[in-house]
Structure 1
Amino acid sequence: MLYMEISTWEPENRDKILEHFKELKMPAGVTVHNQWVDLTGSRYFILYECDDAEAFAAFNLPWSDVCYIDTVPVMKSTEFISLMSKKS
């Protein structure tokens, strides 16, 4: 499944966030498609694929002490339209 995540953090956690990024290792089962950082310095966006709950947890739990993570399952709009067309 494809996920879009938006992570936000308090300004006082900036240095902790930078340390987390330096140590970041993607667990097996997580494929990152792209990542972006908000130039204001307090948000991070990532689009990744993961079909394993254990890998999902291994990727997200280490960040839970320094930021808030909003995870949204997504799909390409063309795929969504095709899927919905088959249901009609």
Structure 2
Amino acid sequence: MLYMEISTWEPESRDLILEHFKEIKMPAGIKVHNQWVDLTGGRYFILYECDDAEALATFNLPWSDVCYIETVPVMGSTDFMSLMSKRN
């Protein structure tokens, strides 16, 4: 499944976030498609595939002490339209 994840943090957590980024390692089971950093600060976006709940938890839990993580299952709009047209 494809996920868009948005991580946000408070300005005072910036240094902790930078330290976490230096240590980041993707666990097996997560395939990253792309990553973006909000140039105005305080947000990070990542698009990845994952079908393994353990890999998802392994990736997210180390960040839970320094930021808020919103994980949203997503699908490309072309694929979504194709899926919806099959339903009718």
What is the TM-score with the length of structure 1 in the denominator?
A: 0.98
Aligned residue number for residue 39 of structure 1:
39
Structure 1 ranges of 4+ moved more than 6 A: none
Identity %: 84
Q: Give the residue type in structure 1 aligned to 2:59.
A: F
Aligned residue number for residue 66 of structure 2:
66
Report 1:20-59 matches (<5 A): 20-59=20-59
Q: Give the residue type in structure 2 aligned to 1:33.
A: H
What is the TM-score with the length of structure 2 in the denominator?
A: 0.98
Q: Distance in 1 between the 2:16 and 2:40 partners?
A: 17
1:16 and 2:45 aligned: no
Number of aligned residue pairs: give it. Answer: 88
Q: RMSD across aligned C-alpha pairs, in angstroms? A: 0.5
Ranges in structure 1 where 5+ consecutive residues have no aligned partner: none
Q: Give the residue type in structure 1 aligned to 2:37.
A: V
- 1:13-47 Cα deviation digits (max 9, x unpaired): 00000000000000000010000000112000000
Ranges in structure 2 where 5+ consecutive residues have no aligned partner: none
Q: Give the residue type in structure 2 aligned to 1:47.
A: L
